[in-house]
């Protein structure tokens, strides 16, 4: 019963923030990630992966299941579900897709976060070519962390900013995970959407106008990169 209530309240909040295909036609290569929500001990948790060390990009980093769009994908949701199946053995029909949140930019790709509920009993089967580990984190950790810092960054095109960095100690498994950059950005936004409360650290949004400020941030970043690309042609 509690489980149903937790999911229903999250579902309602998420639907208010669904951007649908609003950003689908931006002329950049596409990638998608799945933000898989599951209820454990009455609380929402997010499932995350650790990238295999032999991958060319971001080896060993914490990431959501996801990847680049392929010609067979009909939309961003298809990409996220196909990649989640390839990487952690999640069957697409076992995911209740709820919404797409505001995109982000990474490595010249527009990355779409697709949010979906997965079964609470889901047992991942990581594909060792791409994923070395899978773990879950309580969603609340991304608004009330016990180990958090900000990290500065600068892209090769000269854009500079800062990013969130969480260290999550999984006491059961006696392991620590560093969750930062794009992955942390999506996890924080998801937690803000669902809990609707102020986090214990500074964020880049106007919390009274979360959706419009997230869209403005994205479009400003997109314009700064895309205008630069056009002027280099
Ligand atoms: C300014 C902020 C900077 C940051 O945020 S970095 C900080 C922390 N890191 C992060 O947050 C991770 C962010 N990255 C991502 O989420 C993902 O890279 C992103 C953008 C969704 C793209 O997804 P990827 O997983 O890189 O793409 P993908 O899954 O399509 O492919 C990954 C590589 O795997 C390869 N691959 C695919 N299927 C395979 C197979 N069956 N066997 C072996 N290799 C396979 C595929 O070719 C790709 O390799 P490559 O990258 O093209 O060299
Ligand atoms: Mg991937």
d(CA 17, CA 24): 16
pLDDT, position 224: 79
CA-155 nearest atom, ligand 1: 1
State the closest ligand 1 atom to the C-alpha of 63, by its place in the atom list counted from 1: 12
Cα gap 229→186, rounded to integer Å: 25
Identify the pLDDT of residue 194: 98
Q: Give the span between the Cα atoms of 42 and 65, in whole angstroms.
A: 23
Determine if the pTM surpasses 0.90.
yes
What does the alpha-carbon distance between residue 191 and residue 103 come to, in Å, rounded to a whole number? 16
Q: Which residues of the chain have pLDDT under 50?
A: 233
Ligand 1 in reach of 181 Cβ (< 6 A): yes
ipTM exceeding the 0.90 mark: yes
Q: How far is the CA of 1 from the centre of ligand 2 (A)?
A: 35
**Phi and psi (nearest 5°) for 148?**
-140, 145
Ligand minimally distant from the alpha carbon of residue 162? 1
Q: Which of 29, 35, 65, 68 to mutate to test the pocket of ligand 1 (most atoms within 8 A of CB)?
A: 68
Position 108 scores a pLDDT of 85
Q: Please tell me what DSSP assigns to residue 73.
A: -
């Amino acid at each position: 019963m509690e489980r149903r209530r937790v999911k229903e309240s999250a579902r309602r909040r998420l639907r208010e923030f669904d951007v649908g295909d609003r950003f689908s036609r931006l002329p950049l290569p596409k990638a998608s990630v799945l933000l898989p929500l599951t209820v454990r001990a009455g609380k929402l948790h997010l499932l995350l992966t650790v990238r295999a060390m032999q991958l060319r990009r971001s080896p060993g980093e914490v990431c959501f299941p996801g990847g680049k769009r392929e010609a067979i994908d009909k939309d961003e949701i298809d990409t996220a579900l196909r990649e989640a199946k390839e990487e952690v053995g999640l069957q697409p029909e076992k995911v209740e897709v709820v919404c797409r949140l505001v995109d982000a930019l990474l490595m010249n790709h527009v990355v779409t976060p697709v949010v979906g509920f997965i079964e609470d009993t889901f047992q991942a089967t990581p594909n060792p070519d791409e994923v070395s580990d899978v773990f879950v984190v309580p969603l609340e950790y991304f608004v009330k962390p016990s180990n958090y810092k900000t990290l500065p960054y600068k892209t090769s095109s000269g854009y500079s900013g800062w990013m969130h960095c969480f260290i999550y100690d999984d006491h059961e498994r006696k392991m620590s995970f560093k969750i930062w950059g794009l992955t942390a950005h999506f996890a924080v936004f998801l937690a803000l959407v669902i809990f609707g409360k102020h986090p214990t650290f500074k964020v880049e949004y106007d919390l009274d106008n979360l959706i419009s400020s997230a869209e403005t941030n994205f479009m400003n970043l997109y314009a700064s990169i895309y205008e630069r690309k056009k002027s280099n042609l």
